[in-house]
Amino acid sequence: MASITSPFLIPSKTKTKTCYSRHRHLTITASSRPLRAAVIGGGPAGASAAISLANANITTFLFERNPAGSKPCGGAIPLCMMEEFSLPPSLIDRHVSKFLLLSPSNLPSLFSRHLSAESHYIPMLRREVLDSFLRERAKEKGAVVVPGLVTGIKVPGSDKEPYVIRYTSEGSIQTIEADVIVGADGANSRVAREIGAGEYATAIAFQERIRLPPSAMSYYTDLAEMYLGSDVSPDFYAWVFPKCDHVAVGTGTVSSKTSIKSLQASLHARAGSKLAGGTVIRVEAHPIPEHPRPRRVVGRVALVGDAAGYVTKCSGEGIYFAAKSGRLCGEAIGRLWREEGKVTEAGLKREYLKKWDDEYLGMFRFLDILHKVFYMDDAGKEALTEMCADAYVQKRTFECYLNKKMTVGPPWEEMKLAWRTVGSMMRNRLLGKEVEKLRKLEGSYPSII
């Protein structure tokens, strides 16, 4: 544990070491002393925020309640994240170059046949590896990493006073003052509650980590699977993602949270012999936000990552957006302090929120629409699988996903794509009823692969 010997600590009212604040009642200006930032939550969002804050010479405390733990997560990241966040290749468990999509009737479509370049792949990693790497980097940059659970925040009455953060660490209750707070504490964010940021709908995601015998594991060497269908998820998808020596097998749903275990059982039935002989080494579940919170900046507190609600609807992807929003927010605070000598709600909204929305709001809205069109029922998901066999769709999807850039293709190709989408939707809607009859007759899925 990093010892906390900052002069900015204030005495706790409960059993704790006594530390004193020298600056408790000072008006905070850039010339008087360093700004104090508390980042609550040491996932990708919090660690990235702490790195940017420490880089900007801001006194930074990064709180993580469970440094030895691991966030339940599929661990798929876009390729651009490796370079953008200077991640070493050693963090990656698997280079996934084959992505198999399985339709509600278990028809496979090799989605990745047309990855836009040979060297393109989807990096798969374990979150315990990524998160501790990023926290270690934050520490190297000068942030103080505090292994502690934040239990409360006292919001000051004026913009001149600091926030007081209460936390438990190594069995004792302590407090610390901060001028700004970055809430990076995930989907169950306490920071969001404390500042009245408002609620958001969540999906629940359930995942088992299954160690497979070597022969079964070799099938997943560079292959990931995504299963579509109301049996495995009425409104999302199920997945089998390969890790170092095991696979992460899971599903998510918004509308059938109480059925999550039977959805997972259906996934096992669909995957069939591919998971045979496996040993479950971990079972985990966690909420996934469905959309941003009503308020993401309140006073001198900014929410980032899952706490803010930055997960795309269609794919449930949030690691990159967490790290990116943490970085944008940390840089915004650094810039405000350096250039304006103060951090205010208006400044955070302008320098962090607006920049975020300008870059990503369009992408999130587009993926929301895709979700509404293709995930509404099994016919839509059959159409989606069919569309994903299309070379143009694959090329465009991977360009967008791997690089996190929305681009528009040549108008003629885009028109043809729209036409094929309509055709596919109509065909699958007509066929859907027949498929349903067949499924009832067979009672289970034929093994096609």
Least distance to ligand FAD, CB of residue 270, Å? 18
Residues pairing with 150 in the sheet: 167
The answer to whether 286 contacts ligand FAD (rule: CB under 6 A) is yes
The answer to whether 318 contacts ligand FAD (rule: CB under 6 A) is yes
The answer to whether 190 contacts ligand FAD (rule: CB under 6 A) is yes
In terms of Cα–Cα distance, which of 71, 66, 60 is closest to 6?
Answer: 60
Residue nearest to ligand FAD (CB): 318
Nearer to ligand FAD, 194 or 386 (CB): 194
319-340 vs 44-55: helix crossing angle, rounded to 10: 30
The answer to whether 305 contacts ligand FAD (rule: CB under 6 A) is yes
Least distance to ligand FAD, CB of residue 39, Å? 9
H or E element in which residue 428 lies: helix 411-442
Exposed, middle or buried, 150 (CB in 10 Å: 0-12/13-18/19+)?
buried
Helices (H), 319-410: 319-340, 345-348, 354-374, 378-387, 391-403
In terms of Cα–Cα distance, which of 24, 56, 53 is closest to 39?
Answer: 53
Contact positions with ligand FAD (CB under 6 A) in 38-57? 40-46
Q: Which tokens is 117 given? A: 């370049």
Number of residues located near ligand FAD, criterion CB under 6 A: 39
The answer to whether 306 contacts ligand FAD (rule: CB under 6 A) is yes
Q: Are 159 and 20 in contact (CB under 8 A)?
A: no
- Residue from 38, 56, 62, 73 touching ligand FAD (CB under 6 A): that is 73
Q: Which tokens is 24 given? A: 């408790």
Candidates 267-275, 315-323, 364-372, 424-432: pick the segment binding ligand FAD (CB under 6 A). Answer: 315-323
What x-and-dash track marks residues 118-157 binding ligand FAD by CB under 6 A?
A: -------------------------------xx-------
3-state secondary structure (DSSP) of residue 389: coil
For residue 308, give every residue at least 6 positions away whose Cβ sits within 8 Å of its Cβ, in sequence order, or none.
183, 292, 293, 296, 325
Contact positions with ligand FAD (CB under 6 A) in 157-186? 184-186
The answer to whether 63 contacts ligand FAD (rule: CB under 6 A) is yes
411-442 vs 391-403: helix crossing angle, rounded to 10: 100
Nearer to ligand FAD, 178 or 425 (CB): 178
Least distance to ligand FAD, CB of residue 236, Å? 10
The answer to whether 74 contacts ligand FAD (rule: CB under 6 A) is yes
Least distance to ligand FAD, CB of residue 200, Å? 13
In terms of Cα–Cα distance, which of 384, 421, 389, 382 is closest to 114?
Answer: 389
Candidates 2-10, 59-67, 111-119, 355-363: pick the segment binding ligand FAD (CB under 6 A). Answer: 59-67
Nearer to ligand FAD, 220 or 445 (CB): 220
The answer to whether 288 contacts ligand FAD (rule: CB under 6 A) is yes
- Pairing relationship of beta strands 180-183 and 202-211 according to DSSP bridges: unpaired
Q: Which residues bind ligand FAD (CB under 6 A)?
A: 40-46, 63-66, 71-77, 149-150, 184-186, 190, 205, 207, 250, 286, 288, 305-307, 311, 316-320, 322
